[in-house]
Amino acid sequence: MFEQQISSFLSFLVGCGCGVAVGIASGTAESFMIPFVTIILAQSVYQAIGTSLVVDCIIGGIAGIIFLLKGNVNVRPVMLLAISGMAASVIGSMFTRGTPEVGLKFLIAFVLIGLGLALLRGGVKRNVEYVNSKVSFSWFQKQKLVSLLFFGSLIGFASGFTGMGSSGAMTFVLIFIMGYDLHTSIGTSLLMMFFIAGSGAIAHGLKGEIVTSVALFAGIGALIGAMSGSFFANKIDEDKLGRLIGLIITLLGFSVLIELLI
């Protein structure tokens, strides 16, 4: 009984931390939830992925609605991204078992660390200007329908496959490729994550790959944390928010790397 109470309390704290971090910077609870469920609670990685997607779904719904109420969500892209992303997420979840993830996670870790350090050093505007000076994304911006469906499918598949909530990757696509401002990119990607992570969670749940007790208490914590994080993110200016996001995703990158090395 005592061990169960400790587990529930720790699940709540981890969920709350995930909610704050993802509510501010988008991203995913995966970097916190999967090590917690597999290492601390000694559950399988497949159950950890399903549980992580439940938490991401809750964060995406709560934080996405707050950004929507603040006028920082572009609704049409959410629908396009959700339609393609949900279908691809279910397909991705079918390939989870028996598939090695080490190489993919190493790639994710180094990408997160690189992007995080770049944002910490130069903020969002300078990095966007630098990327646009090197690469032209005008075709993607002109072909918005095709681009959103393509990126929604690609990121949705990765979400169902790895347990990543998809929001962080989509935020960078919207900023650097589609030309959205930071607040709108975060809000749009968070609301999209509600649908994509939710469909992935359902697919894993049907296979019994969710730790229900952890999902419940972590979900309550995530709800509280997401509300706090998203309200805060909507109040600060873009440059400060960009640097804060840089710090958060750098730490997430190192957490993924540490998980792989343990």
For residues 159 and 136, give the distance between their C-alpha atoms in angstroms, rounded to a whole number.
27
Assign 94 to helix, strand or coil.
coil
Q: Is 166 left (phi over 0), alpha (psi -120 to 50) or beta?
A: left
| pLDDT digit string, tens, across residues 55-113 | 999 999 999 999 999 988 888 888 888 888 788 877 877 775 555 556 666 766 777 78
- What does the block give as tokens for 13? 């704290």
Does residue 220 surpass a pLDDT of 90? yes
What single string gives the DSSP state of each residue in 152-199? HHHHHHHHHHH---SHHHHHHIIIIIS---HHHHHHHHHHHHHHHHHH
What local confidence, expressed as pLDDT, does residue 166 receive? 65
What local confidence, expressed as pLDDT, does residue 246 receive? 79
Mutual angle of helices 45-69 and 212-233, in 10-degree steps: 30
For residues 17 and 29, give the distance between their C-alpha atoms in angstroms, rounded to a whole number.
9
Does residue 216 surpass a pLDDT of 60? yes
Question: Beta-carbon neighbour count of residue 135 at 10 Å?
Answer: 9
The closest of 36, 176, 44 to 119, measured between CA atoms, is: 176
* Confidence label for 212 from pLDDT (cuts 50, 70 and 90): very high
Pair 77, 145: CB distance under 8 Å: no
Does residue 250 surpass a pLDDT of 90? no
CA-only gyration radius of the chain, Å: 17
For residues 159 and 90, give the distance between their C-alpha atoms in angstroms, rounded to a whole number.
9
What is the percentage of the chain residues whose pLDDT exceeds 70? Answer: 88
For residues 72 and 24, give the distance between their C-alpha atoms in angstroms, rounded to a whole number.
13
| pLDDT digit string, tens, across residues 18-57 | 899 888 877 778 777 877 888 788 888 788 888 988 999 9
pTM given for the model: 0.80
Mean pLDDT of the region 213-233: 93
What local confidence, expressed as pLDDT, does residue 1 receive? 59
Does residue 122 surpass a pLDDT of 90? no
Pair 120, 246: CB distance under 8 Å: yes
In order of 7, 21, 134, the CA distances from 27 in angstroms are 25, 8, 25
Query: Which one has a higher pLDDT value, 199 or 262?
Result: 199
The closest of 14, 4, 83 to 224, measured between CA atoms, is: 14
What local confidence, expressed as pLDDT, does residue 107 receive? 66
Mean pLDDT of the region 114-142: 77
What local confidence, expressed as pLDDT, does residue 104 receive? 60
